[in-house]
Amino acid sequence: NSSEAINTDIVTLPRFILESQQQFKQARGNLTLLLNALQFAFKFISQTIRKAELVNLINLHNSSITINATGDVQKKLDIISDEIFLNAMKSCGVVKILVSEEQEDLIVFQGNNINDQTYAVCCDPIDGSSNLDAGVAVGTIVSIFKIDPNVKDLKQNVLRSGNDMVAACYAMYGASTHLFLTFGQGVDGFTLDNNLGEFILTQPNLRIPQQRSIYSINEGNTFNWDPKISKFIDLLKNPQSEMNNNCVPYSARYIGSMVADVHRTFLYGGLFSYPCDKKNKNGKLRLLYEAFPMAFLVEQAGGKAVNDFGERIMDLKPKHIHDKSSIWLGSTEEINKFLTYIA
């Protein structure tokens, strides 16, 4: 009986959002509007990336800038994605402030009704863009804060502790397009069904494995690291060290796309890090739209996220919108090993 094989009662993202927001009696539907705009941006970026690969291959491998049929210089994918994101946030009517990795300053949307513009959104429209030309997974990372109407200096609405985030998510454009989302009550995973054009709930209440012997770090930076960091990574590789309960060396896995490396860490466990080094004195990854949202998601899935000094990422507070931080995140036991080591 073919009807038995098909689940006809699937949970789409809009259904999931409606059902979860209905629990909150005072909810005005603004977050629902925002998430609707976000998922549209993710679908649009996903499609654009998938189309671009073919277009670029046809256009003589000049993949970052190409000439289109009318002779215009086509924009880089990260710029197009930034525009897609910006337009989606602007048009949904509930966003007052947007911070994007692609924009030097924050963007303030002038809405008709200030009371409706309840959110500040920070995003990296395409994270891991150095991987784009090779067709490797990249993603969009987003953190969401609520606007405090009493704060006069608008920038202060995002120069806050990570604990103030009300939601965070990332979309990963890989073999499938995935979306991991948290409102601070666990993490739910969705997969884009291209035929339906909907994100489908595929991983409800996702938990990150407590332990796994995988480390994910750009080891090419070893000579620029603090020797303490190199020593820690050496201990992970040494099957006889106190770090290795199983007497097997750790495996190295590094894609170079934070979203893809963190996504794997979510599913398989292990640790991911981008520490400070001589070139990147405060690390490389940005607090507002890389470290914060990933730390929120990882903690909500039962993992941990700290900086080189063992401070919780969520407790940090940026001084500038593009501030960076070192980061260690992943399985609780793996991050605890790092914390014990640096103590």
> Could you say whether residue 188 binds Mg ion (CB under 5 A)?
no
Minimum distance from residue 118 beta carbon to Mg ion (Å): 26
What binding mask, one character per residue, do residues 82-111 give for ligand AHM by CB under 6 A, x or -?
-------------------x----------
Minimum distance from residue 205 beta carbon to ligand AHM (Å): 26
Minimum distance from residue 127 beta carbon to ligand AHM (Å): 4
Rounded CA-CA distance 97/250 in Å is 42
> Could you say whether residue 82 binds Mg ion (CB under 5 A)?
no
The answer to whether 296 and 144 have CB atoms below 8 angstroms apart is: no
> Could you say whether residue 299 binds ligand AHM (CB under 6 A)?
no
Give 96 or 324: the residue with its C-beta nearer to ligand AHM: 324
Give 147 or 313: the residue with its C-beta nearer to Mg ion: 313
Compute CA distances 202 → 87, 187, 243, 257, 300, whole Å. 28, 11, 34, 22, 17
Minimum distance from residue 6 beta carbon to ligand AHM (Å): 37
Rounded CA-CA distance 233/79 in Å is 36
> Could you say whether residue 78 binds Mg ion (CB under 5 A)?
no
Rounded CA-CA distance 67/218 in Å is 34
Contact with Mg ion (CB under 5 A): which of 82, 127, 198, 277?
127
Closest to 327 measured CA to CA, from 270, 276, 251, 265: 276
Rounded CA-CA distance 140/40 in Å is 12
Sequence-ordered list of residues with C-beta below 8 angstroms from that of 334, at least 6 positions apart, any chain: 211, 212, 215, 269, 270, 271
DSSP 65-90: SEE-TTSPEEPPHHHHHHHHHHHHHH
Contact with ligand AHM (CB under 6 A): which of 46, 63, 86, 128?
128
Largest CA distance in the chain: 65
Q: Which residue stretch of 121-129, 163-171, 179-187, 191-199 sits at the interface with Mg ion (rule: CB under 5 A)?
A: 121-129
> Could you say whether residue 252 binds ligand AHM (CB under 6 A)?
no
Contact with Mg ion (CB under 5 A): which of 124, 188, 198, 299?
124
> Could you say whether residue 269 binds ligand AHM (CB under 6 A)?
no
Rounded CA-CA distance 216/270 in Å is 8
Name the site residues for Mg ion (rule: CB under 5 A). Answer: 124, 127
Name the site residues for ligand AHM (rule: CB under 6 A). Answer: 101, 124, 127-130, 218, 256-258, 274, 284
